[in-house]
Structure 1
Amino acid sequence: MESIYNLVPEPYVEPQKPPMYRSKYDPNAPLTSSTFGLHGTTATVGGGVNEIRKNHTLSSTFGPTSQSTTSAANFLKAGSKTRLPPQQASSFMRSGGSSKPLVPRREDKPVMGLRTSKNFITANAVEAILSVPQMPQNDGVDYISKEDYGKVPEYLSQVKEEIRRENDMIDEYVRKQLAQDEDAPEEFTEMEEQLRIDLINKLKTKWDDVNEKYQKICHRTSFESFGDIAFKEGKERELKKLENDIMLLQRAGSVMVSEDR
């Protein structure tokens, strides 16, 4: 809620600063937990370096100690932990113990200046002319002399016979069905007038529904896809069929309907 008293400026009150923080510990005292200046041989000024060096035991591994038993000259040499002595191990490696090729020595020089007087084009042509062509290998089987050469396999005759029997059975069944349909007289009944009127009304309703969908696409002169063309042609065929059915039911005279057997 707005008030006119809010427009009156309030007097500025300067905040009071808290007293400066002073630690209760001596700032010049060495830090007992500091590791600064521990690594190396030069002691840095400040920190608890001197105190830590007093607790620097022989078990530490960072840098040598005064009582270290390892000498700088006693380093691990190649082949010192192998079963063979170093001399035999080096000779074994030079004699082909490694799968890698030997590195060429400094005094080794590549062979240079080698030339040949052979004409490879002429040599290849002469070799191709004088070479004997390879004859096809004969496995010893003469298919012409076989007993069934040139004859129809027996299994093909069996398959043809099975197909002939199946076709005869199908023809006999169809012939019997057609004979029964020809012998039975076809019966017709007159369609009721009310049923004919109901069918005409339903066909007209269906025609209106199809025509409404057809009118949405019949005015188009270009179609983007084959689906649109098929849809238009399908609606035209459906409208034509409905019109023929309506004309058939509306013609003068009675409508005869065949009874389903």
Structure 2
Amino acid sequence: MTTPQCAPDNVYNLLPPLEQKPVKPPRYISIYRPSVKHEAKQNKAQWKTMGPAKVAVPSPKDFLQKHSKEPKLQERKIQQDSKKLPTLSVPRRTDHPVMGIHSKKNFINTNAVAAITRLPKKPQPLYVDSRQGDKYLLETSGLVPKYIKKKDYGVTPKYLTERKEEMKKAQKEYEASILEQLKKRAMKVLSDEERKRILQGLKKNWEEVYREFQCLPVKIDTIPKRLHKEKLETQMKQLEHDIQTIEKHKVIYIANE
């Protein structure tokens, strides 16, 4: 239905038009919402937010005492050993020692003989480093050549010999690998038969190109003809250069790719 068009002088044009607010669609609610709520209530623990359900109340007798947290040493256990000698009582003042017992060994004679036959005591080696006579031990001074008299003095240590052998082995392996690489990259000498065969093939190609060059017309008035003539000339020059190079050098090397 078409709305009537009013003239600009109409009274209805003086009133402002009514604003029509857009109607919002209903909010989306999942059909699984009640089942999810039910599962969440069942799986939720009792102490999730309010602490544990039952807390053990401490006894008033278990209070913190003084020095209770200090470390304590273990009590020593007295072990009675059956192999120990029986304890002897201290002799009394009225007791008298046993008299009249003599040993068969003559300690005076034995000590005299030991003193006579004993080797004289060697003086301790000392050195004096001042005019006042300050003496010091010679052994700890570093002046005694005791390391020279060792059996292994001047002998190369075992770890050094092993290290040298490992270095030599590594050097030999490195040189062998370089030789193998050089052999692989070595250039191949072209034999006389192959050289002659290549030379004949180049000359044959030059003759074919020259024959095609001779067949060109005398008047070259188009661009394709001129380009074809230039192409044949460059081919002939290249073939002549290759033929001269092979004829000049009798020994030719070919690099291995």
Asked whether the two chains share a fold, i.e. TM above 0.5, the reply is no
Range into which the TM-score falls when normalised by the shorter chain: under 0.3
Q: Please, what TM-score do these two structures have when normalized by structure 2?
A: 0.28
Larger radius of gyration: 2
